[in-house]
Amino acid sequence: MISIIILFFIYSSNAQQCDQISNVARFDCHSEKDSTKEKCLARNCCWRLPIKSANYTEKNSTGFGFVSVPFCYYPKDFPTYEIISTEITDFGQRIQILKKQTTYMPYDILNLTVDLIYETEQRFRIRIYDSVNKRYEVPLQVPIVEKKANITDYEIKLSQKPFAILVTRKSTGVTLFDSSVSPLIFADQFIKFSTRLSSPLLYGFGEHQQPLLINVTQEWKRLTFYTRDFPPMQHINLYGVHPFHINLERTSDNQTNVHGQFFLNSNAMDVDLQPLPAVTYTTIGGIIDLYIFTGPTVQNVIQQYWDIIGKPMMPPFWSLGFHLCRWGYNKIENIISSLERMQKADFPLDVQWTDIDAMSSHLDFTYDDEYFHGLPEFVRALQANGIHYVNIIDPGISSTQPAGSYFPYDDGIKRGIFMKKFNSTELITGKVWPGTTVFPDFTNPNAIEWWTNIAEAFHEVIPFDGMWIDMNEPSSFIDGSTDGCTDNTFDNPPFVPHVHGDALSAKTLCPSAQHYLSSHYNLHNMYGYFEAQATNQALKTIRKKRPFVLSRSSFAGSGQFTAHWTGDNQATFEDMYFSIPAILSFNMFGITHVGADICGFLLDTTEELCIRWMQLGSFYPFMRNHNALGQNDQDPASFSWEAQQIMKQALIMRYSLIPFWYTLHYEAAMESKTIIQPLFSEYLNDANTYDIDQQFLVGRAILVSPNLLPESDIVHAYIPQDVWYEFPSGIKLNSVGLFTDLNAPISKINVHIRGDFIIPMQIPGDNLVLGRGNPFTLIVAQSQLGTASGNLYWDDGDSIDSIETKTYNYLEFSLIDFNKLTINTLVSNYKDSAMRLDLIKILGVNKFVSNVTVNGENYSNYLYNIPDQILVIYALDLNMLAQSSQTIQWTFST
């Protein structure tokens, strides 16, 4: 009788711990695909069907991101850690926590150290690691803070038992981090922790094909982070890993603040999102190293994040032009034909590319002398006309060529820079385009010199201007290696995140493979990062100029070294749409020189789609038209005469704005400002902007509203409450602060300039090199108060150290009092530039202009358009560097 009472008491107690948890507050205790009641209860977790409610919709878990309310979840009394000691340190606090019993994952670590680091006023860092044994940590060079910030915008509270951390914003009391929602699990190959979110409005968490807003108001989502070669598709882990997000905080007075989080961890991981709202990180290695950025604006958060991972590179000037490529030129005559029709149709072009079909037997650093005969001379001829050349390089180095015949392999063997099998001196081999291959270990100290030497040897044959590093997830056509993988816990961990292919070795190397720094298990997600770093350095050494690198795979901080494109997309309107949230997200991630394959890589495009995509692509930071083997030609000149004229107008629009684009890149590199940004970044208190990802801003000044639908001549767009002028006409918009239908025939992309901004422009040339000396123009878009401002950065476009040595020109433009424009030259050390201003177009001039003066002298070359309220001052031929300050002024008739 007594035993029955005891059992009843235990059952009732467990039931209480389980039944009081609502659907949205359940945290998954068995996120593997084969969850069952028996397995769940074996972990001492709860097994319950979801509680039925009006807003509950049951979904089946597929492991592809479609997840729902977990049946298996943690009870409230699940064993976890408690604080056993706390000490004050110079950086903040150091806490010892202890768990008294192991849980369900092998090699549970019971003794942990927690460092709470008050790094700056807006940046807080949490580090949780093994108190006894040193564990792998991400080899990213981050700032080391040893002195606690005196003033902070955050407040920290601790729960002793169970251990939890609460971070709130001091000014509002809003929760920024709260780990009390779920137990902390910290085993050797399984680390899991959760935090409450401030709102269900999330952005970031890349690289995934998804809308910009990750709205978890009602949905449960799973995002997996493990670099993988796979065409962009929703719910699939893709080429890059960026465990960073931005979360909006709505306050009671309808004001919005923003904070961000960055989980510095390079192991394979799942991120689960649920409508509590909450986020759960599950990683299979390393430590917990979490940054919290308090903003409070979007740009503040991004600046605080880039302070950790590094600012974007300053690209070479020529890389801002139009790039043309395809896989499947097949022979040099087809490239020549493409270029000839482009030139005949007067299309501007800056960069010609070749893909793997130009290689000899797909061997890196070779070219096919039969089908691409004369390629070295062809490239030199391009360069003589101001056109640059970029070739593709894959990381897989052929290991089957005759001894002494293939320098990249022979020299790599000599230097010992290829990856090895687990606990062996034998090289690990996979299969890529050239057949059996070995893989460089770019963490090896000898790898950069090896990479530089083999690239330099090829550069002496073909003087390429940039390098395209592809397949660097790293990708292989087989799983693991030609010899399979081991059965150790690297290759068979106790938990595998929901990667595409179900195994960490799927179409890549065995996780047990060895790098110089650590195992591939730890470094897989950083392979592209280290290759980009090595390639960037190699190009500096070889060309002695600013490097251009394009990498498919990326990690947090890759933007310091490389540009990025969004991979093997398809020629569909849907893929064109998804390019916008991808580019917006990568700007947040610090890779600002980013684009998508215009007109689509896979499948044949259509004329309508390619026109629309060329219009949109003219506002990508990185603009390349590229498609795949077997598809029809899709260079602009391959379409009808009518289509060519429309595409040409889009390109002219881009080229005229290059001074503005170049200045934005300077601001990204120096001031941590994004180049492309979502509307909510500038209109944070306008809830209408939170889910807009079919429009975007270039800088803060240009609103782009492309047509993303087939057979449509209307764009349903949101025009924020502000002053806007249509570009290029300059006509002021009357309907603002609302959704509206904009006329968008096939010949038009809707672009608007925001009041209070001055846009520097230039008359385009055949390419950026040939057009550098052309005159400049200014578009002055007045605010309601008659003000506007802008700036211009200008250098030789190629020098590595232009910024460091101040060998550049920097000008600021300012309009005040409706009628006084000043040009202030703050730096004028780049003397080789003829910076002549030819035309100024002032928008929103609502009074008749009777007189114009330039530096105090009357000037007669001006026109005032009364209906459109536009003042044009032309034929100026004004040397903008002639004086430190110059003034253009106009008077109104009374």
The residues assigned a catalytic role are: 470, 473
Position 67: which residue type?
V
Residue 125, both tokens: 């860092």
* Residue in the block written with tokens 């700007």: 587
Strands 702-705, 696-698: pairing kind: antiparallel
CA distances (Å), origin 685, targets 250, 254, 617, 756: 9, 7, 29, 19
- Whether the Cβ atoms of residue 198 and residue 259 lie closer than 8 Å to each other: yes
Three-state SS letters, 278-311? EEEEEECCCCEEEEEECCCCHHHHHHHHHHHHCC
Sign of the alpha-carbon torsion through 591, 597, 601, 603? positive
Say if CB 823 and CB 792 are below 8 A apart.
Answer: no
Separation CA 294–CA 151 (nearest Å): 13
Q: State phi, psi for 293 to the nearest 5 degrees.
A: -110, 125
Q: Would you tell me how many other CB atoms lie within 10 Å of the CB of residue 143?
A: 10
Contact between 557 and 310 under an 8 Å Cβ cutoff? The reply is: yes
Biggest distance spanned by C-alpha atoms of the chain: 109
Tokens 């530039």 belong to residue: 833
Phi-psi map region of 582: left, alpha, beta (phi>0 left; psi -120 to 50 alpha): alpha
* Tokens, residue 701: 């000044």
Instruction: State the CB neighbour count (10 A cutoff) for residue 461.
Output: 13
CB-CB contact of 679 with 347 (8 Å): no
Strands 201-206 and 214-215: antiparallel
Torsion of CA 271, 274, 280, 281, to 10 degrees: 10
Reduce the DSSP state of residue 703 to 3 states and report it.
Answer: strand
For residues 647 and 638, is the Cβ–Cβ distance under 8 A? no
Q: Which residues share a beta bridge with 108?
A: 187
Q: Which residues of 678-712 are buried (b: 16+ CB within 10 A; e: fewer)?
A: bbbbbbbebeebbebbbbbbbbbbbbbbbbbbeee
Q: Pairing between strand 240-250 and 256-263?
A: antiparallel
Query: What's the rounded Cα separation, in Å, for the pair 257 and 253?
Result: 11
Q: What is the phi/psi pair of residue 728, to 5°? A: -95, 0
The answer to whether residues 326 and 337 touch, using CB atoms and an 8 Å cutoff, is no
Q: In what order do the strands lie in the sheet with 594-595?
A: 594-595, 563-565, 549-551, 466-469, 388-393, 351-354, 322-324, 623-625, 597-598
800 residue type, one letter: I
Query: What would you report as the CA-atom Rg of the chain, rounded to the nearest whole angstrom?
Result: 29
| Number of alpha helices (DSSP H) and beta strands (DSSP E) in the chain | 15, 52
Q: What is the DSSP string of 562-617?
A: -EEE--S-BSSHHHHHHHHHHHHHHHHTT--SEE-EET-SBS---HHHHHHHHHHH
Element (H, E) at 13: helix 2-19
Q: Is 211 exposed, middle or buried (0-12, 13-18, 19+ CB in 10 A)?
A: middle
